[in-house]
Structure 1
Amino acid sequence: FINGIFREKKAPFDKQQYSQFLEKQAQEQRLNRQQQHYMSEEEYRLNANQLT
């Protein structure tokens, strides 16, 4: 994430490119949250199976 910001600053400023970059960051963060939610549900199921 930080590397992406540094690369963006080195590149010549392009408003359209930058907005696309921000949109991509937002999409990646949404995907990460969905994956974390899925993982936590998987872990919950695994833990429940271990308890029984």
Structure 2
Amino acid sequence: RFDFQVPVGSNGDAWDRVVVRKEEIIQSARIIEQALEQMPEGEVRAKVP
């Protein structure tokens, strides 16, 4: 349903972890964008009688 990649580091040092966190943020933003594109048009909240 969502197209994303799981970031994985190769060195395991502090800089590698920073780079992985940055890539995780980018992938999270991609997932959010895809979710918003898939949302149907119209009101989000249901009206309560």
For Structure 1 versus Structure 2, the TM-score category normalised by the shorter chain is 0.5 to 0.7
Determine which of 41, 45, 51 is the counterpart of 2:41.
Answer: 51
Structure 2 unmatched runs, 5+: 1-10, 43-49
Report which structure shows greater RCO (CA 8 Å, sep ≥6): 2
Q: For residues 14-44 of structure 1, what are the alpha-carbon distances to aligned partners after superposition, in whole Å with 9 as ceiling and x for unaligned?
A: xxx8xx7000000100000000001000001
Letter of the 1:34 counterpart:
I
Determine which of 18, 28, 41 is the counterpart of 1:26.
Answer: 18
Between Structure 1 and Structure 2, the one with more helix by share is 1
1:51 CA displacement = 1.7
TM-score of the pair, normalised by structure 1:
0.53
Q: Which has the larger radius of gyration?
A: 1
Give the length in aligned residue pairs: 32
Structure 1 unmatched runs, 5+: 1-16
Q: Which runs of 4+ in 1 moved over 3 A?
A: none
**% identical aligned pairs:** 6
